[in-house]
Structure 1
Amino acid sequence: MLTLLKNACLHAPEPRGLCHLLIADGRLAAIVPTDDPDLPAGGPAVDVHDLEGRRVIPGLVDPLVHFIGGGGEGGFGTRTPELALDEALASGVTTLVGALGTDALTRTPANLLGKARELAAGGLTTYCYTGSYQLPPVTLTGSVAGDITFIPEFIGLGEVAISDHRGSQPSREELTRLAAETRTADMLAGKAGIVFIHTGDAPGGLEPLREVARHSAIPLAQFLPTHINRTAELFEDGLRFGREGGRLDFTTSTTPELLTDGEVPAARAVARALEARIDASRITLSTDANASLPRFDAEGRFAGLQPGRLASLFETLGECVTQHGMALDKAIGAASTHAAKALGLARKGRLRVGADADLLVLAEDAWAIDEVWAMGRRVYRA
């Protein structure tokens, strides 16, 4: 069965105008302007949907989801739940990368891989990072290189924590060795080799990554540090890091308490980074969904938490457009295209012939999702 989506106002992310989209075998087989004389025709083997001029954008790509839950930093009663498939399908995120984070004792790489395959069976595209906050990394095969080389879903190392009291306080040598091991394994497996970094608010900020780049052949772009908008100080350090050639990932999940404590809202962070002339292709957004968003007092004691939300990525995309006047293609870049490129996912984050048919159909009169299509199948309809 072929699928024909007629009269789509396409943002691929660049605006393409009114088009017909032909889907075959989960991918885009043709994109034809509606005024083209060679229009695809319907027929008994074609499932036709008329989108009636509604906007169509690429499915969102989230480089950090704790889809088996997180937390526990205030005891077992504070563990956050797993991501539910129904919630994921309605969020607009069609590609998710899972991580362990703080807890690599009661949660394991095997749990993570199993959940990735559960979500994939529901229609989404899922990947994982091997390792966690702490060193040495927890793995399935016994090594970072083994996980990345032999397990298709494992595409990098993360979340390794720096400048955070919950991490292992890694030395420059440890970070360099792990980055080199990841880089080599990903070359062997044809993957991107990203080391995904949790950045805390302790003094030092992103300096550990600069130290690796200064004293080794590992480039700054090997790392994708997240939570760069958590504090005003870290955000300013991030802008310097971006000017030096590094990548910046802003977290969309937040709480009123975090904002009161000085967090820069993610949409504002993207707008300010673009105003600071940071290369747009180095700016990404992630949700930290189903992780704990903890608060600690001045002495580092746990003071409460809320879970991150997968829906916050689409909400932030809307804030970029409606509150900060950002062009839709620029905003889509931060929420989808740039993360796909950084993670080496060539068929994601962009709607073009040969790409996976992951797309969102937006509501006509509000910032909302009418339909989600993943790998050529409609998986959600409002």
Structure 2
Amino acid sequence: MITLLRNVNVYSPTHLGMNDILIANDKIAAIAPAIHLSSDAVRIIDGQGLAAMPGLVDSLVHITGGGGEGGFHTRTPEMQLTEASLHGVTTVIGALGTDATTRSLEELVAKAKALNYEGISAYCYTGSYHLPPPTITGSVTKDIMLIDPIIGIGEVAIADHRSSQPTVNELAKVAAEARVGGMLSNKKGIVSIHTGDSEEKLQMLHRVVDESDIPAHQFYPTHINRNQSLLEAGKAWAQRGGYIDMTTSTNAQFIADGEIPAADAIAWCLQQGISAAQLTMSSDGNASLPVFDNQGHLIGLEVGKVASLFDAFSTLASTSGVSMEQAIRTVSTSPADILKLPTKGRLVAGSDADIVLFDATTFDIHHVFAKGQHMTQEGVALVKGTFEDL
């Protein structure tokens, strides 16, 4: 199928101005000011007045749902296709969290393959919050090398009362296994780190880098916007060459307790001189969002939303001192680069045709394409998940 998007204001993320975008099958074939094709087989969409950006890359989604900290009845539901596509998310990275007992890696890989079949791109991590990590093959290295959707390990929990309280040696060992697996399979082998709210913050990561040969950029800590103190620690980590990720799903209690909205946290980091290449946002979609009292007792629980990622992007792009290009990088280009997904995160010839057409003033999404397929139009899903109409 050949599709021509006419008269769109293209952000690659670099601003290219008014152009046409030619889509051939699942790839971008060309971007130019005027592309003329005479074939009746070409579908033409007039994007006059709309901006085009790469599809969002959500680096942390609990695509199979998560374990609820309030008991079996609070296990969160799995993600459906349109929860991503209607909100401009065309690539997701699935992960287990606290619950690796009633949620399995086999289920996670199967869900990633199902989402790929239904239309978006889906990858996943081996492991979970805990060390030693659960695996499919018995080895982190083998999981990354031999199982196509698996690109790293995570989210390994530190500085959190729900973690396995890992030692420096344990974390260094699993990072080394992921690094080797990534090198041998031409994947990133990233170590996604769940960062809790204890006073330890990111000290464990600094110790691993200080006491081993593992570089800072092997780790990808998230939830760095929990509070200003952790954000300051994130700044120090970024200054050491590491990446930091802000979580866009939140609730009123989290904000009242000091969490910084993701867009505000990114804007602050940019003001501090941290490169947008080191900064990302992710939704933590379909995760449980537990609220604990001072004794660690659960007093409330909500569910993370993939939709929050585009909402945070629109807030960031509207923030004084933050350019559209910087905002796009944090939700598309930078996570694609960090995760070593070379055909994602950019609108260039040869890249995957993951494209969001939106109004750059209102930030209303008008069209979403994933791997060249027209997924949504004017807020209506043209493609739905297998069981979404049942």
- Band the TM-score falls in, shorter-chain normalisation: over 0.9
Give the secondary structure class of the aligned counterpart of 2:86: helix
- Aligned residue among 184, 209, 213 for 1:213: 209
Q: How does 1:64-103 map to 2 (within 5 A)?
A: 64-103=60-99
SS at match of 1:135: coil
CA distance in 2 between counterparts of 1:358 and 1:152 reads 20
1:150 lines up with 2:146 in the alignment = yes
Report the AA paired with residue 48 of structure 1. Answer: I
Aligned-partner SS, 2:375: strand
1:191 partnered with 2:172: no
2:309: which partner in 1? 313
Residues 20-67 of structure 1: per-residue CA shift (max 9 Å, x gap) = 111113111111113xxxx33131232222212311111000100001
Q: Partner amino acid for 1:118?
A: A
Shift of 1:75: 0.6
CA distance in 1, matches of 2:320, 2:245: 18
Asked whether 1:244 is paired with 2:247, we answer no
Aligned to 2:111: 115
Contact 1:18 1:53 in 2 (8 A): no
- Map of 1:40 onto structure 2: 36
Q: Amino acid of the residue matched to residue 274 of structure 2?
A: I
Cα contact 1:2–1:22 (8 A) shared by 2: yes
Return the alpha-carbon distance in structure 2 between the equivalents of residues 353 and 316 of structure 1. 28
Is 2:217–2:242's contact at 8 Å kept on the other side of the alignment? Answer: yes
Using the TM superposition, name which of 345-354 and 319-328 deviates more.
Answer: 319-328
Equivalent pair of 1:42/1:48 in contact (CA under 8 Å) = no
Question: Are 1:129 and 2:125 counterparts?
Answer: yes
Asked if the contact 2:59–2:335 (Cα under 8 Å) also holds between the matched residues in 1, the reply is yes
Find 1:266's aligned residue among 256, 262, 284: 262
2:381 — aligned with what? none
Letter in 2 for 1:13: P
Offset, 1:327: 0.9
Instruction: Provide the rounded CA distance (Å) in 2 between the counterparts of 1:269 and 1:27.
Output: 34
For residue 58 of structure 2, the aligned residue among 46, 62, 69 is 62
- Report the Cα offset of residue 365 of structure 1: 5.2
Indicate conservation of the 8 Å contact 1:268/1:324, yes or no: no
Runs of 4+ with deviation above 3 angstroms: none
Q: CA deviation at 1:364?
A: 6.5
Comparing 83-92 and 160-169, the one that deviates more: 83-92
Superposed CA RMSD? 1.1
Q: Deviations over 1:126-156 (max 9, x none)?
A: 0000000011111111111111010110000
Contact 1:161–1:167 at 8 Å: present in 2 too? yes
Q: Distance in 2 between matches of 1:289 and 1:324?
A: 27
Query: Secondary structure of the equivalent of 2:102?
Result: coil
Task: Decide whether the 8 Å contact of 1:4 with 1:42 is kept in 2.
Answer: no
Question: What fraction of aligned residue pairs are identical, expressed as a percent?
Answer: 48
Partner secondary structure for residue 91 of structure 1: coil
Q: How many residues align?
A: 378
The Cα shift of 1:121 comes to 1.4
Counterpart amino acid of 2:181? A
Aligned mate of 1:303, from 296, 299, 303: 299
- The answer as to whether partners of 1:163 and 1:201 remain within 8 angstroms in 2 is yes
Matches of 1:174 and 1:43 in 2, distance apart?
60
**Equivalences for residues 8-23 of structure 1 within 5 A:** 8-23=8-23
Q: Is this contact kept in 2: 1:161–1:199, CA < 8 A?
A: yes
- Confirm whether residue 227 of structure 1 aligns to residue 223 of structure 2: yes
Question: CA shift at 1:8, angstroms?
Answer: 1.2
What per-residue deviation string (whole Å, max 9, x for no partner) do you get for residues 223-245 of structure 1?
A: 00000001221111111111121
Q: Could you tell me which of 261, 265, 278 is aligned with 1:282?
A: 278
Specify the code of the residue in structure 2 equivalent to 1:2.
I
SS of 1:380 mapped into structure 2: strand
Report the secondary structure of 1:117's partner residue.
helix
* Contact kept? 2:267, 2:319, Cα under 8 Å: no
Task: Give the alignment's TM-score, normalised by structure 2.
Answer: 0.95
Which residue of the other structure, out of 318, 322, 329, is the alignment partner of 2:325?
Answer: 329
CA distance in 1 between counterparts of 2:157 and 2:361 reads: 42
* Aligned equivalent of 1:24: 24
- The SS at the match of 1:348 is coil
Deviations 1:79-128 (A, max 9, x none): 11111122222021100000001000000001111111111111100000
Residues in 1 aligned to 2:228 and 2:361: alpha-carbon distance in whole angstroms: 35
Q: Return the letter of the residue paired with 1:357.
A: A
Provide the residue aligned with 2:197 in structure 1.
Answer: 201
Whole-Å separation in 1 of the counterparts to 2:278 and 2:226: 18
Amino acid at match of 1:277: G
Looking at structure 1, the residues matched to 94 and 212 of structure 2 have their Cα atoms a distance apart, in angstroms, of: 28
Q: Distance in 2 between matches of 1:43 and 1:146?
A: 48
2:372 equivalent to 1:376: yes
| Alpha-carbon separation, structure 2, partners of 1:138 and 1:99 | 12
Whether the aligned pair in 2 keeps the contact of 1:22 and 1:40 (CA below 8 Å) is no
Distance in 1 between residues matched to 2:2 and 2:318, nearest whole Å: 35
- Partners in 1 of 2:186 and 2:36 — Cα distance? 35
Q: Is residue 339 from structure 1 mapped to residue 335 from structure 2 by the alignment?
A: yes
Q: CA deviation at 1:279?
A: 2.0
- Of 178, 181, 196, the residue aligned with 1:182 is 178
